[in-house]
Amino acid sequence: MLIDVNLISPLSRSSPITDSSPYEVRRAQELNNLLGPKGSTDAIDLICDLHNTTANMGLTLIHYTTSDWVTLARTSQVCFNKHHTGNQGQAFSTAIEVGPQPHGVVRADIYIIMKEAVDLTIDWIHKFNSGTVRPNQTWLIFVCRNVDYPRDPETRTLTSAIHPQLQDRDFCLLMRGDPLFFTFSRETVKPLYDCLWWMSYHIL
Amino acid sequence: MLIDVNLISPLSRSSPITDSSPYEVRRAQELNNLLGPKGSTDAIDLICDLHNTTANMGLTLIHYTTSDWVTLARTSQVCFNKHHTGNQGQAFSTAIEVGPQPHGVVRADIYIIMKEAVDLTIDWIHKFNSGTVRPNQTWLIFVCRNVDYPRDPETRTLTSAIHPQLQDRDFCLLMRGDPLFFTFSRETVKPLYDCLWWMSYHIL
C-alpha cells in the first residue's frame, strides 16, 4: 500500500503528532528537533537528504534555491543531474534522489550509486572546509513545470498512464506532437506546450 | 510506505475486521462473501486474480495445485510463464502476475499485457464452454523453493540485496558459485545449492 505523504514537507509544517501519525512524519519532526529547527540560525550547516524514486532519473541532486551557492558548487563538483524545484526558503539543504527503484525494494545497483554520492559529498565537504573548492563554475539546470495526468472530470481518477514510448526516458526533450499519455481506452494524448524537458519525478 | 500484508491469505483466514483493518483485507473478505466462501461447493467456478509485482517476471500464471486441470489447460493454451506455489486447497483459482512494476505506479506497457491476459482468459473460457479446448497438453512448470535474504543473527534485519548480476534476470538457471546476494559491506554471497531456477517473486 502506497500512501500520498510528502516526507519532506512535515519538517516545515510542524503538523501535530497523533497516535495514527505515519512513522515518516514522526521521524521528520524528531530530526527537525535534533538538527534544526529548519531555517533557524541554530540549524546545522548542511543536511544530506537521501531519497529513492520509481522514476528513471539516475543520480540527481534536487535544489530548493538558486541562491544557495554551497549546494550549487557541490553539484558542479560531483557531476550529478540537476533539478530545481523552486525556492522553499532553506539554506544549504539538498536532496539526493536516485532511481529507478520501487518503493520498499532495495536494489544493490541503486545502493552502490547512493553510497558513491554520499562518499563524494563527504569528500567535497572536506575540500570545502580546507579551502580547495572553487564555488564559481558553469553548469546546466533543469527548471521543471508540473503536468498532471488526464483525469475523469467528475471523479478525478486517472484516465491514462505515461505513454510507453516515453516511459523511463527521463530528461529527454518532449516536443508538441510527441506522445505523452496513453489512455486506458488506448488513445495517445500529446502535450499542449511547444516543448518541455520530460522528467517523471513523482509518478502517482 | 509499503506494508507487509499478503493480500490473498485473508480470504482463507477470515481475520476479524476492525476500524484499522487495511482496505485490501476488508475488500478480500467482501469478495469472499460475494464469490465464495472459498473452497465451498457454493463458490463460483473460476476466479481471475490480477496482481502486479516488482519482479521482472513478465506475464506469469501462479498455480496453487497440480490437480487443477482447468488452470493447467488454460496455461498451456495462452503460453504464459508458469509458477507453482504448492497446494493450498482451492479449485480452479489462478493468479495472473505481471512485472516489473513498482507498487503504486501504473505503467502502460504492464497495463496492456495484463489486459491481453484477461482477454485471452475470457476467450479460453468461451472455448472451454463450447467444448473446443483439449485439456491434456504437455508443458513445463517451475516448482520453486524459498530462499531468505541473509540477515543479522540478532536483529533479523537484512544485511544484503540481490546481486547486481542477478537483479531482473528472473527464470535464469542459478548454479553453485554464481553470485546470489550482495552484502551492504560489498561482499558476494553464493548459493548453497547445486542449482536452482531464479525467480524474485516477492522482494521484501
The CA angle A131-A132-A138, to the nearest 5 degrees, is 115
Q: What does the pLDDT read at residue A72?
A: 60
Provide the shortest C-alpha distance from residue B201 to chain A (in Å): 12
DSSP conformation letters of A109-126: HHHHHHHHHHHHHHHHHH
Asked if the peptide bond before residue B100 counts as cis, ω within 30 degrees of 0, the response is yes
B97 classed as catalytic: yes
Q: What is the mean pLDDT of each run of 10 residues along chain A (204 residues)?
A: 45 68 80 81 80 87 65 55 43 73 90 90 83 62 73 92 91 85 93 70 44
Reported as a single tens digit per residue, the pLDDT across B60-92 is 877 666 666 666 665 555 544 444 444 343 445
Cα distance between residue A9 and residue A184, in whole Å? 32
Q: What does the pLDDT read at residue B94?
A: 66
Cα distance between residue B105 and residue B19, in whole Å? 27
Question: What value of ipTM does the predicted structure carry?
Answer: 0.72
User: Is the CB of A185 inside 8 Å of chain B's CB atoms?
Assistant: no
- Of A22, A182, A203, nearest to B105 by CB-CB distance is A203
CB contact under 8 A, A104 and B103: yes
Domains in chain A and their CATH numbers?
1-44 (no CATH), 45-142 (3.40.630.10), 147-204 (2.20.25.160)
Chain B residues close to A105, C-beta within 8 Å: 54, 102, 203
CB contact under 8 A, A162 and B107: yes
Cα distance between residue A204 and residue A146, in whole Å? 13
Chain A residues close to B184, C-beta within 8 Å: 111
Q: Which one of the listed residues A97, A116, A154, A187 is annotated catalytic?
A: A97
- For chain B, the straight-line distance linking the first and the last C-alpha, in angstroms and rounded, comes to 12
Cα distance between residue A113 and residue A32, in whole Å? 26
- In the stretch 136-155 of chain B, residues with CB closer than 8 A to chain A read none
Mutant choice from B5, B23, B105 vs A, greatest count of A C-beta within 10 A: B105
